[in-house]
Amino acid sequence: MIVDDQTDRRRRHWRTLDTAAGGLALDLGVYAVSAIFAAITAVTSTLLPHRAWGTVAAAGYLLAALAVLAQLLLHRRVPTSRLTGLPARWAVTCLAWAGTALLPLIWQSIDRAGGRTDRAQEEVLVVEQAGIRLLEHGTPYLGPDAIAALPPGEQLLGYTPYQPGMAMFGLPRALADSWWTDSRVWFAVGTALALALAVAAIRGTPATPTDATRRRDAAVLRGVQAATVLPICSLTLATGGDDLPVLALCLLALALAAADRPGWAGLAVGLAGALKLFAWPVALVLIVWGLTRRAGLRVAAGAIGLPIAALVPAMLVDRAALIENVLRFPLGHGLVTSPAQSPFPGHLIATTLPAGRLIAAGLLIAAGLAIAVRLARRPPRTAVATTLICGYGLLAAIALMPSTRFGYLLYPLALLTWAPALHRPDVPASGERSGRTTSA
């Protein structure tokens, strides 16, 4: 009861902050703080692609903040003005994403096509090389012998620590050498398409125009902002980008779950799982959700079937290469170690305590078992509960993994912000708790 009261209190506090001045107050805070972050990045970052992003994004965030400030002043004088309503906030969000993610991305892609070598992070090169190998050899992976034959300074780039589907974003560069074949351009296309489908799935759910529906629509906007204009996402897309389509497909899968379309939800998360391992925990929780709707097999068919289908060709062509890249390297047993070493608890334990790596691994396993017990005893019956479990679960995993990156926080941050958008205003609260649905 105490925990429930604390949860309700936090929700009320968040709702008060989120809805202040029709949502404009938090919009202004997000853009203003992001502008400061981008400006600091432009001046202090040791990564040249990040500095280039900050130079452009700081101006984009500042313009967005000024636009919201004008909206806020107008809202105080004319609270019902169309220039301060939800459509206007959507317009500013889209312009902010264009100015802080898409414009820096295109600029860096053009510079890179012109010969600049400091306009992309390593994952861009890795994905494009994977696409070239997929086209030429039928597998995106180099075998351990081929990686060992590379010069020591290039062995890290010889690894492709992604699922085989990620190489599809590198295929355009295998066909033509131009700015528009940069893999980041196609990451952005995939992200935008998945998010658009997610918004359509949520807003297409039948519902009467009530206050609950309007709150849901505002929550959808906030969720999209978390997945697009926050620096952790816009910076990632402009300089590397491989995580954004994975995240967007997971959000799409959860939106389809909220719309009572379990089969399509399984396909969406399966596509994400065919790109990167980070989607697999989301797939497992969605399967458990599907079991509560007597649709577990429909969810599992796509959630498990698509990643397996993507792995089979690579396994048939070169099993050793697949194991080296997808298993041994992420587990720290490759020829070189991963540079992902952000100072989270798992990394600090692994590097500072005796037998620290074993301790960190034990804590990670314990967290996984705790989540498994939670799923077994209280399986999620709504898309909201499913999303919250995924968000907090990934947050715990990122904190406890011995090797991780600060940028991975975009997953739990976006998932937890997405959860309020998945409430069904046309379904009574008792129906949500019992897991009843209104459509097949």
pLDDT over 50 (residue 247): yes
Query: Do residue 240 and residue 382 come from a single domain?
Result: yes
Summarize the chain as % helix, strand, coil (round to 5).
75, 0, 25
pLDDT of residue 206: 63
pTM score, whole prediction: 0.92
Residue type, 3: V
Is 8 inside any structural domain?
no
Query: Do residue 126 and residue 103 come from a single domain?
Result: no
Query: Do residue 107 and residue 206 come from a single domain?
Result: no
Contacts of 174 (CB under 8 A, 6+ apart): 128, 131, 132, 134, 135, 136
Quote the mean pLDDT of the chain: 90
Q: Which of 117, 147, 162 is the last residue of a domain?
A: 117
How many independent structural domains does the chain possess? 2
Is 433 inside any structural domain?
no
Is 429 inside any structural domain?
no
Query: Do residue 382 and residue 238 come from a single domain?
Result: yes
Instruction: Encode pLDDT of 152-192 as tens digits.
Output: 888 999 999 999 999 999 999 999 999 999 999 999 999 99
Is 348 inside any structural domain?
yes
pLDDT over 60 (residue 5): no
pLDDT of residue 434: 42
Query: Do residue 182 and residue 53 come from a single domain?
Result: no
Q: Which of 61, 85, 117 is the last residue of a domain?
A: 117
| Integer-rounded Cα radius of gyration of the chain | 22
pLDDT of residue 331: 76
Query: Do residue 362 and residue 302 come from a single domain?
Result: yes
- Structure confidence at residue 348 as a pLDDT band (50, 70, 90): confident
Residue linked to tokens 């099993």: 319
Cα separation, 80 vs 221, whole angstroms: 19
Q: Which of 117, 146, 179 is the last residue of a domain?
A: 117
Is 333 inside any structural domain?
yes
Residue linked to tokens 């697009």: 228
Cα separation, 118 vs 27, whole angstroms: 32
Contacts of 356 (CB under 8 A, 6+ apart): 349, 350, 402
Query: Do residue 113 and residue 124 come from a single domain?
Result: no
Is 141 inside any structural domain?
yes
Query: Do residue 77 and residue 164 come from a single domain?
Result: no
* Pair of tokens at residue 10: 């936090």
Is 3 inside any structural domain?
no
Instruction: Encode pLDDT of 319-328 as tens digits.
Output: 999 999 998 8
Query: Do residue 222 and residue 101 come from a single domain?
Result: no
Better-predicted residue by pLDDT, 119 or 1: 119
Cα separation, 67 vs 64, whole angstroms: 5
Nearest residue to 397 via CA among 383, 385, 408? 408
Query: Do residue 144 and residue 53 come from a single domain?
Result: no
* 8 Å CB contact between 348 and 404: no
Domain that holds residue 165: 120-424
Cα separation, 160 vs 151, whole angstroms: 17
Cα separation, 314 vs 293, whole angstroms: 34
Long-range (24+ apart) CB contacts under 8 A made by 408-413 are: 408/243, 408/278, 409/232, 410/227, 410/230, 410/232, 410/233, 410/236, 410/243, 410/244, 410/247, 411/243, 411/247, 411/250, 411/278, 413/226, 413/230, 413/232
